[in-house]
Amino acid sequence: VQDGTWYLRVSTRDQLNNSSAWQTLFTFRYDTQPPNNPDKAKEAGGARTGIVQSAVKDPMFTWEVPLDIGGAGIDSYLIYWGDAADGEVVTATSNAPKFDPGPLSGAQDLYLRVQTIDNAGNVAPDWMTLFEFKYDPTIPSLPHTVQEMGGAEDEKWQTTVSAPTFQWMGATGGEGAEITEYDLAWGSDPTNTHIQAKTSADSYSFDPPPDSKSGGYTSYLRMKVRDSLGAESPWGTVFTLQYDPAIPSSTITNQPGDTLVSSTINIDWEGSDPEGGSGLAGVQVWYNKDGAGWTQYPTTFDQSPALLDTAKTGGDGVYQYYILALDVAGNVETDQDPTYTTEVKSGDIAIYLMRVAAAWYTQSLDEGFDKSIDLEPDNVINQADLLARLRDALEE
């Protein structure tokens, strides 16, 4: 049995050929695949992984529920919380995607690592480090909240803000000190420490980075904090801006044909997104059945071919269709690919045979007779034509 959910269903028939409604007697769930681990965690107080800080002494971690390929679903997490970067000793367990280790007593560098268990008992093969928590009460802390005032969100592609204004809050000095200055770096290098600006304010505006592409850019706001005792925080990325104003493109690379005996139109396609952009997300399919007007097919296709299933769009008929590319940021192609037309006759059956035989028998088998018709190799014949030819053969 393959992994998945299986159902035993029965319908009972009596001697008078009366049948009961179908009923599920047993649901069998089978899962042999180990689950994935989550890949990262967030700290509720704004601490950032791998960056020493003094603001959060009592951390609280949450993470997204990972995928369980076999389908059983996630049951729980084995947790390691300690100072070993490769620690695999179980120090706690959690039935929810969160962990509260309690407050720290002093400066520490600790690792949150997990191993996931699914509801079938499968265990992820490896441990995963979700967060490195570094606490030192003498070190200034970076802001726990940074906002872009035009509405752009951290680490999310968007199409409107190219010259951002940032505002932040929550930075703290070390014990007995206050924040005096922020060093700011801005550009496409996620490790950049070149100071572009210094400010004592809690906001700053930037132009697009000089190396940005016409198709968009990803730029990092990095910061270092200085307090009144002269202590400095380490550099840290506090906001990642992703901007994509460019329109993707696509083209249909095949012509499925003027007539199709399948209910599904296979549309091979290619697409691209300009350099610097968010990347191609896929294509939309638009269709017009029998001149009734253009409608978007409900599925977006991230891989070729796109499959226009006419069983979901009204069945047989004459279909016009084209595709539009869309990218991760939400930009949609405006210039439609050339429109193609295909007549769908899904009721027809494609026969790939060299000989089709038909037989008719009376009640006495010895009174029966056989007839057959020949087809060319790889010939395709629809159901109506096939029946007509068989009828002619039987009448001979």
Interacting residues of 330 by C-beta distance below 8 A, sequence separation 6+: 157, 159
Model confidence pLDDT, tens digit, residues 320-332: 999 999 999 999 9
Taking the C-alpha atoms of residue 142 and residue 181, their distance in angstroms, rounded to an integer, is 11
Candidates 177, 153, 165; CA nearest to 233 is 177
Spatial distance between the Cα atoms of 367 and 76, rounded to a whole number of angstroms:
71
Conformational region of residue 180, where left means phi above 0, alpha means psi within -120 to 50, and beta covers everything else? alpha
Residue of 290, 286, 246, 289 lying closest to 269 (CA atoms) = 286
Q: What pLDDT is recorded for position 186?
A: 97
374 close to 357: Cβ distance less than 8 angstroms: no
The pTM of this model reads: 0.70
In this predicted model, what pLDDT tens digit does every residue of 121-175 receive, in sequence order?
999 999 999 999 999 999 999 999 999 999 999 999 999 999 999 999 999 999 8
pLDDT of residue 72: 92
Q: Taking a C-beta distance cutoff of 8 angstroms, is the pair 296, 302 a contact?
A: no
Beta-bridged to residue 94, according to DSSP, are 77
Q: Is 121 left (phi over 0), alpha (psi -120 to 50) or beta?
A: left
pLDDT at 2: 81
Domains of the chain: 1-136 (2.60.40.10), 145-243 (2.60.40.10), 249-344 (2.60.40.10), 355-395 (no CATH)
Task: Output the average pLDDT for the chain.
Answer: 88
pLDDT at 244: 98
End-to-end CA distance of the chain: 51
